[in-house]
């Protein structure tokens, strides 16, 4: 049988956006669990925090507003430190597109050293500018909690094509 006449099996693929809601459960199924070599493996407070955020993500369904995360003081301090240091590096080390978009994130999504933006704010901005939006499923492969926002700001350099 030639390759042209062999049946072509397509793996599961969502037919509508709501199909991803069930898929999110599978992706996040082990989201609370950490490998033994993860730096937070023995940190009960970190593990509880991670589990709380995974529960938020699992409860999310397409069409809902992405839930807000109340960040801890430690997370806010980490954000401030990382934000301040990365902000200094952007002019010389980030691509032109990132340098262009970052002030827009500051103006439209309240990016600042003193406030971690909520994902629904960033999604609304991206929808208006790039015609796509975020969902918790699309971010589930990233680290949870504070690093969601940090990773998003860093990943905007992907627009540097």
Class (C level, CATH) for 19-159: mainly alpha
- What pLDDT, on a 0 to 100 scale, did the predictor assign at position 10? 67
Whether the CA torsion 46, 126, 65, 84 is positive or negative: it is: positive
Q: Give 10-residue mean pLDDT values along the chain (161 residues).
A: 65 69 56 70 84 80 84 92 93 90 90 91 85 61 39 44 37
Among 89, 110, 85, 113, CA closest to 99: 89
pTM: 0.65
- What pLDDT, on a 0 to 100 scale, did the predictor assign at position 3? 62
The terminus-to-terminus CA distance of the chain in angstroms comes to 41
Would you give the distance in Å from CA 121 to the centre of its chain?
A: 12
């Amino acid at each position: 049988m030639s390759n042209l006449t062999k049946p072509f099996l397509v793996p599961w693929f969502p037919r509508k956006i709501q199909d991803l809601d069930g898929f999110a459960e599978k992706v996040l199924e082990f989201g609370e669990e950490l490998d033994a070599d993860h730096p937070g493996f023995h940190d009960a407070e970190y593990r509880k925090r991670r589990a709380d955020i995974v529960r938020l993500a699992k409860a999310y369904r397409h069409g809902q507003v992405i839930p807000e995360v109340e960040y801890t003081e430690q997370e806010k301090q980490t954000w401030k430190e990382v934000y301040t240091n990365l902000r200094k590096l952007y002019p010389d080390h980030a691509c032109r597109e990132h340098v262009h978009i970052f002030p827009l994130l500051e103006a439209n999504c309240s990016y600042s050293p003193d406030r971690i933006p909520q994902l629904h704010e960033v999604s609304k901005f991206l929808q208006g500018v790039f015609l796509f939006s975020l969902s918790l499923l699309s971010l589930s492969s990233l680290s949870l909690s504070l690093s969601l926002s940090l990773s998003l700001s860093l990943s905007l350099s992907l627009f540097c094509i």
